[in-house]
Amino acid sequence: MITINCYVVGEIETNCYLIEDEATKKRAVIDPGDHSDKLIAEIDKRGGELDFILLTHGHYDHILGVAELCERYHPVVCASEKELEVLQKGKYNRTSVHNIRLNSFNVDRLLCDGDKIQLGESEITFMHTPGHTQGSGMYIVDDHIFSGDTIFCESVGRTDFDTSSPFDMMRSIEKIKAIDGDCHIYPGHYIFTTLEHEKRYNPFF
């Protein structure tokens, strides 16, 4: 079982998530899109340890806070093996387009579809869901899906960026539709939703 805290960060209001395994107090941050005093204060209050940073994709509004957290807590940074080029190239991660400075960081673990991350007693599964970017992915733990910019409430992420693909997005949606049962969905922006709600009301489904 995990606990989930959400922090809305940056100019584009990205949902950044702090998750913690209840049994062991091991922690991960998903998509630290910018600096957050509240996030840092919460980590420090819980003992000042951060085990993982999990990136759903490499656009700047999901990674601007990574370097700061790495310098402060030294977590293991994880991202799709297909997303390394996006993380490294300003044209692809949009920093050069918006004239934004990105402090460098290393990706410590490159993930393939279906890879597992052990957060204490909680097992996190990485699902590769290209479309928004070539290496976009989701993290699934228990009945929680952290969908990045793949799924929003009754919508999906844009597919008109460098490395985007409308065809890949639709294939990813078909893959997501095949997930059994209902799940809570925590997207990269906007309000939370559920898999059942999206199957009923999302026109892309």
Q: Is the pLDDT of residue 138 over 90?
A: yes
Please state the rounded mean pLDDT for residues 121-136: 98
**Average pLDDT of the chain, as a whole number:** 96
Q: Going by C-beta distance under 8 Å and a sequence separation of 6 or more, which residues neighbour residue 55? A: 30, 31, 62, 63, 66, 77, 78, 79, 80, 83, 87, 107
Q: Is the pLDDT of residue 75 over 90?
A: yes
Structure confidence at residue 126 as a pLDDT band (50, 70, 90): very high
Domain ranges of the chain: 2-201
The top-level CATH class assigned to 2-201 is alpha beta
Give yes or no for a contact between 60 and 98, defined as CB atoms under 8 angstroms apart: yes
pLDDT of residue 159: 97
pLDDT of residue 97: 85
Residue 75 DSSP symbol:
P
User: In whole angstroms, what is the distance from residue 100 CA to residue 151 CA?
Assistant: 26
pTM of the complete model: 0.96
Query: Which of these ranges, 69-78, 84-93, 151-160, has the smallest mean pLDDT?
Result: 84-93
Amino acid making up residue 11:
E
User: In whole angstroms, what is the distance from residue 83 CA to residue 35 CA?
Assistant: 22
Structure confidence at residue 30 as a pLDDT band (50, 70, 90): very high
Please state the rounded mean pLDDT for residues 175-181: 94
184: three-class secondary structure by DSSP:
strand
Q: Going by C-beta distance under 8 Å and a sequence separation of 6 or more, which residues neighbour residue 108? A: 76, 77, 78
Q: Are strands 27-30 and 14-21 parallel, antiparallel or unpaired?
A: antiparallel
What tens digit of pLDDT does each residue of 83-98 get?
999 999 989 999 988 8
Sheet holding 109-111, edge to edge: 2-9, 14-21, 27-30, 52-54, 76-80, 109-111
- Tokens 């091991």 belong to which residue? 26
Q: Which two tokens stand for residue 157?
A: 């992420």
User: In whole angstroms, what is the distance from residue 17 CA to residue 172 CA?
Assistant: 22
